[in-house]
Structure 1
């Protein structure tokens, strides 16, 4: 039968059921596991968090669990924890070997880039593959200093999550993304209404594709709402 838990039992809250001398064992465990794990990480090569691949991110999670449990659980032997840590690192090293030797393995393990922006228009289907909405793509572009989709020739979301942006020279008319539409909504024009079909210089409100001729629906995404296509002022150095 389980013991009754006494609320605000300071001895239980601070020390648990282990004797106070177990704190020295925790200190010893922490030092041993830290030094051992640090040596293995140095062996496989570490990168900053922003540069972690999917495999390396999984390595961090797995190591975190294996290392954490061994630090303060008295029923987890150090050799058992060190064996788990070693196996995790060896699996990671094996995956790194496959990535280096095979392009198909690299694509299967790390994934492949997604083509988010092509010639000033959004590739909605590509961003959807990565679970990204239109607003998130535009936020990433703004972080790169982009103010208008017409400034962008191509933008790729790399397999590691970084955004690669290649600017158009010269910029073309496109959909403004500064300020964000959530702050200042863009005007929406329905060319089906009387007289609106003759308006020139429009782009698709959904993907930013420039309107061709007198089309009423975007030939790229099929939406029929448009907004004025503007050219961003030239302030880039």
Structure 2
């Protein structure tokens, strides 16, 4: 397009473009075909595509959408290349899924693996760092599950698909509060355990007496505070 032909007040060009009116009918035909092709591909790739996606499935779906979307926008692009690309993507995704279902190592490489973020009320800091999960994000997930302190948590997993799975402790023990520091009023209302201290960094608990310079045997931190206990 000639730069002189571009005018900011040319509303007809902005909304209508420079294509003939007959192309709008073609767009409807192309869009219908692409929509049906996408639905067929998702159906072939399995029920997982309609649920929580893993990395492999997300990559396949976005690649598929990007590849087959071009024929809708470009009148000079045919539909056959989109079909060929769709076949390659679907076949590749199904091949990876089949191999992953038989080989755990291959599955871990292509789709990642789960991590234990909290074990028996203690933060697994290395796992959090590896998963790039911050304390604030983790505590927010626990608060959303009505957890008030780490002593209520037996296990917290982050699954390969990014979802969190919580297993609560049947017999809660005192633990580190997950209430944000901004809500000091609620923190003060939480009942404290007087017979032990909790590491403010990882949530590991130790019975008193403890000296201020004592290191946590889990994370080597020296910041101790009274733990929160569950109300009877």
Match of 1:181 in 2: 181
Give RMSD over aligned pairs.
Answer: 2.0
1:50 CA displacement: 5.8
C-alpha spacing 1:229/1:48, structure 2 compared with 1 (3 Å)? farther
Q: Which moved more, 1:33-42 or 1:215-224?
A: 215-224
| 1:1-237 correspondence to structure 2 within 5 Å | 2-4=2-4, 5-47=6-48, 51-177=52-178, 179-184=179-184, 200-213=195-208, 214=210, 216-233=214-231
1:144 CA displacement: 2.1
Task: Determine which structure has the larger helix proportion and give its number.
Answer: 2
TM-score by length of 2: 0.88
1:40 CA displacement: 1.8
Give the whole-Å Cα distance in 1 for the aligned partners of 2:50 and 2:117: 23
Give the whole-Å Cα distance in 2 for the aligned partners of 1:2 and 1:23: 24
8 Å Cα contact 2:122/2:203 also seen in 1: yes
1:174 CA displacement: 0.3
Which stretches in structure 2 are left out of the alignment for 5+ residues? 189-193
Give the whole-Å Cα distance in 1 for the aligned partners of 2:49 and 2:2: 46
C-alpha spacing 1:38/1:49, structure 2 compared with 1 (3 Å)? closer
Question: SS at the partner of 1:55?
Answer: helix
C-alpha spacing 1:183/1:59, structure 2 compared with 1 (3 Å)? farther
1:233 CA displacement: 2.6
8 Å Cα contact 1:29/1:72 also seen in 2: no
Q: Which moved more, 1:204-213 or 1:148-157?
A: 204-213
Per-residue deviation, residues 135-169 of structure 1 (Å, max 9, x unmatched): 11111112222111001111111111111111222
8 Å Cα contact 2:150/2:176 also seen in 1: yes
8 Å Cα contact 2:195/2:207 also seen in 1: no
1:181 CA displacement: 2.7
1:26 CA displacement: 0.7
Question: SS at the partner of 1:23?
Answer: helix
Per-residue deviation, residues 37-87 of structure 1 (Å, max 9, x unmatched): 211211221336661111111122112211322212112211111211221
1:212 CA displacement: 4.5
Question: SS at the partner of 1:47?
Answer: helix
Per-residue deviation, residues 185-234 of structure 1 (Å, max 9, x unmatched): 868xxxxxxxxxxx742101111110255252211112211221121235
Which stretches in structure 1 are left out of the alignment for 5+ residues? 188-198
